[in-house]
Amino acid sequence: MKQNHSIPKGSLITHMYRSFNIEFFRRAYIFLLLSFIYPSLIDGATITSLSSGDWRDATTWDLGRIPENGDIIIIDASHTITILTNNGSCNGVPETHLYISGTLTFLNGSKLRLGCGSSVTIEVGGLLAGGSGGGSGKKLYICENEQWNSGDPDVPGYYVFGKPLPIDLMNFDAEVRDKLVLLDWVTAAEENNDYFEILRSKNGLSYEVIGQVFGAGTTNNTMFYAFEDYSPFEGLSYYKLRQSDYDGKSESFGPIAVQNSSEPVGSCVLSVYPNPCIGNCKVKLSNCPQREGQVKLLVTDASGLLINEVIDVRKFDGSFDIQIDKSNDLKPGIYLISVIDGEDYYSEKLIVQ
């Protein structure tokens, strides 16, 4: 039976949702996964194909490594990834979730083994293919159970082997509007989703529940949710989502950082790109008044800890730019880039992969 949960008066925006055709929201899901990473039930990261190639070739993947147990793995619509060898055992490894918008195929007697609780989702337009020759020697296993072999027909999308993640979170974001913080999130699918809790923190370590939003139960439709925090903290704060099933199981998403400042906003434009940042990226302050003086750059992590501080001099046109990379002690995660220019203040979130 569905439980009743109190919702702070005036804090909840009625969640809106609508159905999209399968192909649209599946493609949107893959696109947003490319640009947004948040911790969930799995232990690894989101890793996406950069080109067609060998599964075990690190240059095939955007993180510069081959996929690992526990990852969310995405094969892009324009790519064909080939399994050339066996990848070990299913026993005792974290669950892995593979999404195929392109083609996954096998060579010779190669096999792909995924841990218990894993899934393989073949999106609309995607294909699981056995290739030519080899009889039924090419196989897909989940939890040491054979799901498919190359003696079976090729499998076009949409089709799922195993059990996908109970909540496919497409997006979770926050922005300051007037005197409140608006949080919104989107799911591509839900299973037994009872409700979401919104958690807030001043230091990124200890969190308090500030509200609840009911989930949609079980659905394959795209769902849109929103929540307003009418009493946000001043300065930097953090938000998480905690999703609970009807049976009490839960998973968390986030944190995301929000800068709520009453300091004056200057006339320059702050850009951080590429974002997400893979390897190295650039911070640029542009369209500034032509003036001299120093600019201070601060990099803080999701807990509010200062990671790096740079003081540099403007260019002749008033602009400022600097490259940041892993040599600046940036590990994969979410950071806040803050630039102080005299009385002016600018900030931008950065995702490092």
* pLDDT attached to residue 19: 32
| Rounded average pLDDT over 8-16 | 33
* pLDDT attached to residue 41: 38
**CA separation for the pair 18, 223 (Å, rounded):** 7
Better-predicted residue by pLDDT, 24 or 113 = 113
Name the burial class of residue 296, with classes exposed (0-12), middle (13-18) and buried (19+) by CB atoms within 10 angstroms of its CB: middle
Q: For 333, what's the count of Cα atoms within 13 Å in the CB-facing half-sphere?
A: 17
Total-model pTM: 0.45
**CA separation for the pair 295, 293 (Å, rounded):** 7
* pLDDT attached to residue 189: 75
* pLDDT attached to residue 44: 57
| Rounded average pLDDT over 284-299 | 76
C-alpha angle 236-242-233 in degrees, rounded to nearest 5: 20
Q: Structural domain boundaries of the chain?
A: 42-162, 167-260, 269-352
**CA separation for the pair 66, 281 (Å, rounded):** 22
* pLDDT attached to residue 81: 92
Better-predicted residue by pLDDT, 213 or 132 = 213
pLDDT digits (tens, 9 = 90+) for 134-157: 667 888 999 889 999 888 889 998
**CA separation for the pair 39, 56 (Å, rounded):** 24
* pLDDT attached to residue 70: 83
**CA separation for the pair 322, 218 (Å, rounded):** 47
**CA separation for the pair 346, 269 (Å, rounded):** 8
Query: How many Cβ atoms sit within 10 Å of the Cβ of residue 102?
Result: 19
pLDDT digits (tens, 9 = 90+) for 92-102: 788 888 888 89
Contacts of 261 by beta carbon, 8 Å cutoff, 6+ apart: 234, 235, 345, 347
Q: What percent of the chain has pLDDT over 90?
A: 15
pLDDT band at 29 (very low <50, low <70, confident <90, very high): very low
Options 2.60.120.330, 2.40.100.20, 2.60.40.10, 3.40.50.300; CATH of 269-352: 2.60.40.10
Three-state SS for 179-194 is CEEEEEEEEEEEEEEE
| Rounded average pLDDT over 268-275 | 80
* pLDDT attached to residue 23: 36
Assess whether pLDDT exceeds 60 at residue 37: no
* pLDDT attached to residue 238: 84
| Strand order through the sheet with 145-149 | 111-114, 139-142, 145-149
* pLDDT attached to residue 53: 92
Contacts of 273 by beta carbon, 8 Å cutoff, 6+ apart: 281, 282, 284
Contacts of 218 by beta carbon, 8 Å cutoff, 6+ apart: 190, 191, 192, 193
* pLDDT attached to residue 133: 63
pLDDT digits (tens, 9 = 90+) for 194-234: 999 999 988 777 889 999 999 988 877 778 999 999 999 98
Domain 167-260 shares a fold with domain 269-352: yes
Give just the sign of the alpha carbon dihedral 12, 18, 24, 26.
Answer: positive
| Rounded average pLDDT over 277-294 | 75
239: β partners: 200, 256
* pLDDT attached to residue 27: 39
* pLDDT attached to residue 317: 66
CATH number for the domain running over 167-260: 2.60.40.10
DSSP letter for 61, please.
Answer: B
* pLDDT attached to residue 26: 41
